[in-house]
Amino acid sequence: MEHNINFLIEFLGTIAFAMSGSFAAMQKRLDPFGVLIIAFVTSVGGGTVRDLLLDVPVFWMHDMWSCFVIFITCVISMIFKSIEHNFKVTLFIFDSFGLGLFTIIGIQKGLTAGLNPTICITLGTITGCFGGIIRDILLNKIPLIFRKEIYATACIIGGTIFFLMDKYSDFSLAFTQIFTILLIVVIRTLAVKYQWQFPKFYDNANKHLG
């Protein structure tokens, strides 16, 4: 049962980030091959970094199913593009769900490896964020994690709540996972809606010149 749930989370996360990457690439007017590349790195970037840190085989190199899902999702997103014009909203929705889903995947990988909860949360954050970082760098944008929007913080809060619920509550693992995913999505949504952000650093000299 647990294996099936983890597979479903990974499957949905792959679709969500493939859609996120596709719409981000189409927003930049890339050709179909460029859209496919961006969708691919968005989906596998975080997991690749995670597996390298864990010193285990990189998941997508031994699982053609993931590559197939990314390809089909990318094709569907390009077809969907003809009737979807609000790229910004669509990108935000898929990116938020991908963030939540992949954070849980990273945490589970850490637990399987028998790592400390803090390290598991770090792996979850890396899995959730690094695909988007690579996507934004390739698209010549400042990654979301480095900008004003709450991004990695949502993963850290979600991961912390996951371990608190797992240790101190009687909820099932499946419920805890779903709750954590939705919590991360809600935090991201509220942060954007109400413009929650951390203080930014300014160059005082340039600030006075401006």
Give 121-178 pLDDT, tens digit per residue: 999 999 999 999 999 999 999 887 777 668 899 999 999 999 999 999 999 999 999 9
Reading the block at residue 24, the tokens are 């981000």
Instruction: Among 41-45, 65-69, 107-111, 190-194, name the one with the lowest average pLDDT.
Output: 190-194
Which range is least confidently modeled, 100-104, 112-116, 197-201? Answer: 197-201
Tens digit of each residue's pLDDT (9 = 90 or more) over 24-64: 999 899 999 999 999 999 999 999 999 999 999 999 998 88
Confidence of residue 92 (pLDDT cuts 50, 70, 90): confident
Query: What does each C-alpha distance from 185 to 72, 155, 178, 193 come to in angstroms?
Result: 24, 9, 11, 12
- Residue 2's pLDDT band (cuts 50, 70, 90): low
Residue 206, pLDDT score? 54
Cα–Cα distance, 159 to 7 (Å, whole number): 19
* Mean pLDDT, rounded, of the chain: 89
